[in-house]
Structure 1
Amino acid sequence: MTKFRLKLTSLFILFIGFSVLAAGLLMGNSYQKNHQAALRDHMIRELHVLNAAAPWPDMVDPAAQSEYLQQQAKRFKEIAEMRITYIRLDGKVMGDSDHDPATMDNHLSREEVQQALKEGTGSSVRYSGTLEEKMMYVAIKVNEDRGGANEGVIRLSMSLGDVERSMNNMWLALITGLLILFAVAAIISYRVALSVTRPLERMTSAAKRMANMDYATRVPEGGKDEIGELARALNAMAGSLQGQLDEIRRNGTRLQSVLDNMISGVVMIAPDGKITLYNREAEHLLGNSIRERVGRSFTEIRHHFEIVGLIREALENPVSFHEEITVYYPEERLLEIHIVPMTMSGDEDTGLLLVLQDVSAIRRLERMRSEFVANVSHELKTPVAAVKGFAETLLSGALNDPETAKSFLTIIQDESDRLNRLIGDILELSKIESRRSPLQFSPIDLPAFLERMTELLSPEAAKKDIELDVVSEEGLFLEADEDRLGQIVMNLMQNGINYTPDGGKVKVRAEIVNVEDSEEEIVRITVSDTGIGIPRKDIPRIFERFYRVDKARSRSSGGTGLGLSIVKHLTELHHGTIRVESTVGVGSKFILELPLLQP
């Protein structure tokens, strides 16, 4: 815009300068012509006066005539300070105020003389080599009415030096005035150009910022002229664009928030095979970051050959379908993939939308539910079959044998108790998992609590000659639900007794432990035995429902297979953790850690 301002200023200056220069040239030329014309008329009048005062002599003798005219020329030179020349009709100089006529050239060819001979008066302006300056010559023809030898031409000459000096002064004044006028015109033109271009500069700068999506910029609106109207229109457009951009950004933020918080992975693939969208859950499921994937071809997904094959097939044959595949990177999981063809805006070809769902947990739960139903059916079927079989035997006549009847009725009673325990554990586990039985937390004197647990289990341990060794820090209190904590400790100690051979040992230790990098304190209860131990492959599944390491031994001991599952759920409800360490043939150690104070 500065270049435009300079151009506009230059145009103003050139226009004013040419106008003034043309006017000056016209005025100078007119002044010069008028001055010379006035001087010529004045000199003609003076020649007529001279001729009247001293007419051309009527002498026949040329020498006497020349002498007389030379005297008159010098006399008038002294009076009028002008050069006077008397010229005969044949061009011979008869007298001259400045030079000797005998030494002067014939003047017949002089322009002013020729004109005077033809028209009676003549004039010319030319440079005089004799005087070395520009001169004006005026001549008149005299004694035309007498004829003959008495006729001649009188010429008067005057230097134009004064006229030229006057013209030079005029030109100096004109140039000085022109320079001053140029300076004033430059200042005025610059101010005028600035008043025109500054708003345009501001609007141009604002338009550039708007092109860079900075719609918050505004232009001073100025007056009510066209530039002001343009500024107001530009501001209105910027405001409208700003509002639309804010709405687009809000929509984009909402859409991005929805995509980032979706529990499904979303991948969008353009018709050319480049990935254009890759949300956070897709990063989690497929193990690549958005920066690594967006803008690159789907064929660069190195770790998922089956997914690449599905995408390639869908691009070649764009139909909707879904499939479940197992991926092993970044970890093993089962993915349900929905592939939907979609047309991108402005594209004729069809791209793809992939929706990825991790169904590993769902399928695992379905499997666990099936296994649970099968296990419950199996566990219920065994005692029911036993009860039914022995009842049928009794009804078939075994009642007549008192010993046999008593033995069968005892078995029926034991199986009924087992069935009752199983149903009770199932109901208990159901209540715990559905959180229909809230915990009632209260301070528990842990040494006294463990002593009561020992008293309850001592008869059972005594039957197998198993030593119960219980040790707890004095004055140790724990905030927990006493009944539920009793279920946890009772299950762990019963398991130790059941799976420890006769003459073994079950130890219980309770102590306070500080958590690393924290001021929080936890209570650690360790239940260890010298039993058969748990194989390493079974340890991850030890807390699953109905899972048994030694199924025959579990059933013979009256276990339902739900005890450790109940223990794990109750521990989690106490905001605690439980883990197991075991060596086959050496024994097992269950480590229960609970917060000293419930959060």
Structure 2
Amino acid sequence: MQKKINGIQSIHFKIPMLFIFLLLVSLQIIGAYFIRQLETDLIDNFDNQMSLNVRFLENSLVPVIEDEDQSETPATVQNILEDYIGGDFLEIQVVDAEGYILGTNDQTRQSVVGTKSTDRDVQQALLLESDRKYQYVDEDRMDRVLKVVSPMFATTSPGEVIGVVIMESNIETVYSQISEIVKIFLNASLFAIVITIILAIIISQGISKPIAEMRTKTLAIAQGDYSGRIRIYGNDELGQLADTINDLSTKVKEAQETTESERQRLDSVLKHMSDGVIATDRRGKIVIVNNRAVDLLGLNREEAVGKSIMKVLDLSKEFTFRQLLETNEDLILHIDEGEGKADSILQGEFSVIQRDTGFISGVVCVLTDITEQEKVEQERRNFVSNVSHELRTPLTSVKSYTESLQDGAWKDPDIAPQFLQVISTETERMIRMITDLLNLSRMDQGKLQLEREYVSMNDLFSHILDRFDMVLQSEAYRNKNYKIQRDLTQRTLWVDIDQDKVTQVIDNIMNNALKYSPDGGTITCRLMETHNSVVLSITDEGMGIPRKDLQHIFERFYRVDKARARSMGGTGLGLAISREVLMLHGGRIWATSVENKGSTFFISLPYESFEEEEW
């Protein structure tokens, strides 16, 4: 915001006042010196003139007073004094050594001639034999008077005072002359001040106008307006400054355009980065955060900007900001996504923003979402652990029974067949697991090819259930009294599937239903149609699946009851393979369950209805 300049603070006021002040100081110094010197010179000249007149008068009077014939002395003195009537001489008196007045040039005071003088200055001059000179103000005329009292010495007897000359002159004319000269000086000074003010205003405008234009231009530059150029009035310093500002405006404009281009490029890069970026100031307050970082942290931009990075990333319990600046290791951050959601795992890489001088101006943090990576890594570790464990158990059994046979158990006709049967069972279990792993590997690599064909889902499901009906009649299930209940749609549903792979899926679910159903349990099998899917469901009356385990049962090697599942010969891969097979068909599998009441598995396959004529 442009601040308004007070009139007294303006250069329009300061420059004229500066000139006036300098002129007044100069005039004061010059005037004081000039008038003082003039006054001194004029008064000295007047004084010297008075002294000459006194000496000249004394030279004329001394011979007269020394004359032995004193009878003619007053008349002669009076004749001499008549030459000094008029001019600046107010009164001249001649007094003899006895103090009697011998004559005066004032015609109105001739009565004092012959009388004894009462003037103290005469008495002091006769007594001290020295001149006396001073000024005083005549109260009648109110003029300044210069009075000179000079003793006259005899020429025949050196040192003998024979009389006194008193001369009073009007010195007011000198002071009047000085006053006139002072008035002339003051008038000239006043005229000079007026001329100076006019010139100062013109000069100040000549200086302030370019400065005002330069100020307006610099304010425009500060606000981002680089258009227009400052007018150059001359090739002086102000002209060079204006030219420099014009050049600066051009360079700032180019630099601003470059900076804006770089900023837009940086914003675009930050906006489309797959990693989150956070930048802070030297105090750790967030100043830049891109969209990806906001998404990863689950915050609004307004909530992040201005907050401490230690608080936003929840690092205050483990680090101080200084320790964060000094760390060279990547940090693993666990972000709570809220109730019912798994935490996100982020990798934070921190880099200090440091100038050439060593001053740290902030830190940049790059956040990478490694949730899936960590999940895959954890699944890999679990997979290796599970495979190792699943293979170790049957291998341990095979090794133990083989060692027993080697130790002589093969000679026992009762024990040897049992040991061999266990070895055969465990070997078949390992073969099944390895086959399942190979199938999963092919699916993961996309190498498993489906041999699709149109199959009547009604006939396929019925055929599979007929086969399990025959299984239930076998010796192993005869005493369990299992029942398979069917609820199949009467509408023939043709689907494009790999019959063997889908049969494997249904067999797996039916085997699980038989394994976990109690004696006398009923297994309900349904086949239904939606507007774009064929849905199969298989419901058992077994122990059910706990809610916390329900979302994990399709993961590899996951078992709800590990001990029981392993004792029943399961590998923990059947449901995982079923899910992969159905995903290859574009379908899906899911389950619902109530503990101690049973579970229901659903299989959904894509289905497009068509008329018989089209077939």
Q: Which residue in 1 is equivalent to 2:534?
A: 523
Partner amino acid, structure 2, of 1:320: N
Corresponding position: 1:323 with 2:338: no
Distance 1:470 1:545 in 2: 30
CA-CA distance at 1:447 after TM superposition:
0.4
Q: Which residue in 2 is equivalent to 1:481?
A: 498
Q: Which residue in 2 is equivalent to 1:566?
A: 577
The match for 2:487 among 463, 471, 480 is 471
Q: 1:324 to 1:438 in 2, by over 3 A?
A: same
- Contact 2:538–2:602 (CA under 8 A) maintained in structure 1: yes
Distance 1:298 1:439 in 2: 55
**1:541 alignment partner, SS class:** coil
Q: 1:318 to 1:513 in 2, by over 3 A?
A: same
CA-CA distance at 1:505 after TM superposition:
1.7
Q: Which residue in 2 is equivalent to 1:375?
A: 386
Corresponding position: 1:312 with 2:321: yes
Partner amino acid, structure 1, of 2:546: P
Corresponding position: 1:548 with 2:559: yes
CA-CA distance at 1:587 after TM superposition:
0.5
Distance 1:557 1:592 in 2: 24
CA-CA distance at 1:489 after TM superposition:
1.6
Q: 1:522 to 1:348 in 2, by over 3 A?
A: same
Partner amino acid, structure 2, of 1:410: Q
CA-CA distance at 1:410 after TM superposition:
1.8
Q: Which residue in 2 is equivalent to 1:439?
A: 450
Alignment of 1:273-352 (within 5 A): 273-294=284-305, 296-298=306-308, 304-306=313-315, 310=319, 312-314=321-323, 317-329=325-337, 332-343=343-354, 348-352=359-363
Distance 2:429 2:258 in 1: 68
CA-CA distance at 1:347 after TM superposition:
10
CA-CA distance at 1:292 after TM superposition:
3.4
Corresponding position: 1:581 with 2:592: yes
- Contact 1:319–1:341 (CA under 8 A) maintained in structure 2: no
CA-CA distance at 1:213 after TM superposition:
6.7
Q: Sequence identity, in percent?
A: 31
Q: 1:455 to 1:241 in 2, by over 3 A?
A: farther
Distance 2:455 2:462 in 1: 12
Distance 1:490 1:245 in 2: 72
CA-CA distance at 1:423 after TM superposition:
1.0
CA-CA distance at 1:286 after TM superposition:
1.4
Q: 1:210 to 1:506 in 2, by over 3 A?
A: farther
**1:335 alignment partner, SS class:** strand
Q: 1:278 to 1:381 in 2, by over 3 A?
A: same
Distance 1:407 1:309 in 2: 60
Q: Which residue in 2 is equivalent to 1:512?
A: 529
**2:447 alignment partner, SS class:** coil
Q: 1:264 to 1:409 in 2, by over 3 A?
A: same
CA-CA distance at 1:577 after TM superposition:
3.0
Q: 1:579 to 1:247 in 2, by over 3 A?
A: farther
CA-CA distance at 1:448 after TM superposition:
1.1
Distance 1:377 1:401 in 2: 33
Corresponding position: 1:262 with 2:273: yes
Q: 1:469 to 1:257 in 2, by over 3 A?
A: farther
Q: 1:387 to 1:252 in 2, by over 3 A?
A: same
Q: 1:207 to 1:482 in 2, by over 3 A?
A: farther
- Contact 2:541–2:597 (CA under 8 A) maintained in structure 1: yes
- Contact 1:450–1:470 (CA under 8 A) maintained in structure 2: no
Partner amino acid, structure 1, of 2:328: S
* Cα shift readout 1:22-43 (whole Å, capped 9, x = no counterpart): xxxxxxxxxxxxxxxxxxxxxx
Partner amino acid, structure 1, of 2:427: S
CA-CA distance at 1:571 after TM superposition:
2.6
* Cα shift readout 1:283-340 (whole Å, capped 9, x = no counterpart): 122121224333x1326x756432686462347x545332223332556233322221
Distance 2:512 2:481 in 1: 15
- Contact 1:344–1:351 (CA under 8 A) maintained in structure 2: no
The unaligned stretches of length 5 or more in structure 1 are 1-205, 220-236, 515-520
CA-CA distance at 1:408 after TM superposition:
1.9
Distance 1:238 1:349 in 2: 31
* Cα shift readout 1:101-147 (whole Å, capped 9, x = no counterpart): xxxxxxxxxxxxxxxxxxxxxxxxxxxxxxxxxxxxxxxxxxxxxxx
CA-CA distance at 1:440 after TM superposition:
4.1
- Contact 2:350–2:364 (CA under 8 A) maintained in structure 1: yes
Out of 342-351 and 589-598, give the one that drifted further.
Answer: 342-351
The match for 2:517 among 473, 481, 500 is 500
CA-CA distance at 1:361 after TM superposition:
2.9
Distance 2:296 2:511 in 1: 43
- Contact 1:303–1:329 (CA under 8 A) maintained in structure 2: no
Q: Which residue in 1 is equivalent to 2:548?
A: 537
Distance 1:596 1:251 in 2: 54
Q: Which residue in 2 is equivalent to 1:17?
A: none
Distance 1:347 1:291 in 2: 31
CA-CA distance at 1:470 after TM superposition:
3.3
Distance 2:494 2:228 in 1: 71
- Contact 2:538–2:600 (CA under 8 A) maintained in structure 1: yes
Q: 1:499 to 1:239 in 2, by over 3 A?
A: farther
**1:381 alignment partner, SS class:** helix
Q: Which residue in 1 is equivalent to 2:423?
A: 412
The unaligned stretches of length 5 or more in structure 2 are 1-216, 230-247, 610-615
